[in-house]
Every structure is written in structure tokens, then in C-alpha cells.
Amino acid sequence: MKLGRAALGLLLLAPLAVRAVEPISLGLALAGVLTGYIYPRLYCLFTECCGQKRSLSREALQKDLDSKLFGQHLAKKVILNALFGFISNPKPKKPLTLSLHGWTGTGKNFVSKIIAENIYEGGLNSDYVHLFVATLHFPHASNITLYKDQLQLWIRGNVSACGRSIFIFDEMDKLHAGLIDAIKPFLDYYDHVDGVSYQKAIFIFLSNAGAERITDVALDFWRSGKQREEIKLKDMEPALSVSAFNNKNSGFWHSSLIDRNLIDYFVPFLPLEYKHLKMCIRVEMQARGFEIDEDIVTKVADEMTFFPKEERVFSDKGCKTVFTKLDYYYDD
């Protein structure tokens, strides 16, 4: 604010000062102020700039997680504390790395969207948020060397342009083994790598690896009459890292990212129950501008399939297909 007022004062006083200052000198001084302060500020009013979003609000992030993510008390707690702590740290030692694990439809992609929206106005469409899908961007195992080079160049270029870049890797369980190790130098405890600092970047990995272990723990709690909210991170996290590391069908198979402890948090996403599906349906109804109709909520939830076959405790597709099923009832 002080610099802005000084610049404005300089502009207003320019006619009076012109006699005392040579025209070229005055012009250069004004140009310096405009280019160095006013122009970037004005430019960022009309387009997205790196780090331009307001400081991350813990309350806003908490509200988004509570109102949009259901049945995931562990993920909510870890994401809230990890993200807020990282963003609040002016000098982190390394990038933030989150590995989200669970079955399809449990909220992994949704959490990535929430994170992006709480850091950048454009969310997933921001120029500073980058999504990689294993089967789309890295389809051929024979090209793994090429993919490694391209991945390093892409990350280096984007972090050079914006230190607070976000990289999301979806379908890690379908990524070719060894490919992800190409980014290991960027995740390590280095101040700079080839002149670029990656310490403020965020890397998010999404995977189905370890989902069986997560389900086993959740089912054991349910069968013993315990509430799912009693499940602690310590009941899940060690097994998740081991499962991802030893799974030959996982992009983390024998990965140096796990071996060198470069993944900050392994975040389990629990399988969803019937009541959680109803919560998803209600939120989707509101998002489409409809009044909540409990009859339709129940009908859509009843159409979903559950497992184990005898007990029918967990939805086998989570909330992923409830949105398309709603189309049947609201199709014009």
C-alpha cells in the first residue's frame, strides 16, 4: 500500500517536478514504478497469477471438506493439517507429497479438486495445476525412457514459472513401474535442483493400490461393532506404504519415492456405506438447483450394489455412479 501511494503521488506531482528533473530521467523513473509495481498488479486483476489467490483459509478448507466429502474422517484430518501447515510455512524443506489410496468413488479425485480450488481461483483449470492420467499421458511401456525425459522437462518448466505449482498423478496403480522415479530429485530435500527450487510445489498421487487392506480394516471394525470413526491413521498408513511398494501392478512398485521416505502422507479413503451415498446424492441435487427429494434419494441409493455379498456393507462404486443415476429422474 505504501509503495502504491508513493507511485500515485509521483504521478500526480510529475507536472511540478518536470522542471527540476530532466524529462528522460523522470520518464525512466515513472516507467520503473509502473513496470515494477503497478503494471503487474493491474495485470493480475485480469488474469490468474502465480500465488495471486488469497492466503489459504483453514476455515474455508474445513468447510469444503465437511460439506463435500463424506465418510472420510481420516482423509479430512490429514489433508487439513498437512495442507494448511505446508502453505503456512514460508520456507518448507521439501515439496508436499500426498498419496491418496482407496477404491473408485471414495473421494480421491474430489479431494484433489478441493485442494486446487482452495489454492487457485481456477481450481483444476488453473494454469498452475497440472493433471497427469497414467493411461492417457503414459500409455506405452516401450516409451518409458521418453516419458521420463518429458516428465522432468514438464515439471521443471512449470515450477520455474510458478514455484507453487500443483501436480496430480491419477491412476498411479496403472503407471508403468519405474517411471515415477524420474521425479525423485524434485521431491527430495534439496534447496535447488539445476537452479530451480521445488520446495513450495505440491505433488498428489491417486491410486487404488492398498484398497483391499483399507477395506479389510474397515470391515473388521464394522464386524466388531466399532464405529468407523474409531479407525486411526496408524491402523492404515504403514500397511499402505508397504502395499504400494510391493504391488507389481502399482506405479510405486519398488519406487525410490517410498524407499527414501519422500511421500509425506499415505492417506486412506474408506469404502462408503449406504448413508454416505445418500449424502452424496443430496449434495448433487443441490448442486443442480433441485430441491432435495428424499424419495428420489432413497431410490437412487437402493439401486447401488454393495459388498460383501452377504452383509452388503460398502458400496462397490462409491459415489461415482450416483450422479449418472440421478439423470434418469431429472431427464427432461
CB atoms inside a 10 Å sphere around CB 247: 19
End-to-end CA distance of the chain: 53
Tell me: is residue 104 an annotated ligand-binding position.
Answer: yes
Query: Known binder of ligand: residue 47?
Result: no
Tallying the residues shown for the chain, one arrives at 332
- What's the half-sphere exposure (Cβ side, CA atoms, 13 Å) at 189? 5
107 has binding-site annotation: yes
- 105 annotated to a ligand binding site: yes
Enter the C-alpha cell of residue 280.
452424496
Q: Is 318 one of the annotated binding-site residues? A: no
Q: Report how far residue 298's alpha carbon sits from residue 153's, in angstroms, rounded to the nearest whole number.
A: 49
The DSSP-derived string for 146-163 is HHHHHHHHHHHHHHHH-T
- 308: preceding bond cis by omega (within 30 degrees): yes
CB atoms within 10 A of CB 318: 26
CB atoms near residue 235 (< 10 Å): 17
Bridge partners, 169 (sequence order): 132, 205
Cell matching residue 214: 483399507
Task: For residue 289, give the 3-state DSSP assignment.
Answer: coil
289 is in an annotated binding site: no
Binding-site residues for ATP sit at 102-109
Binding-site residues sit at 102-109
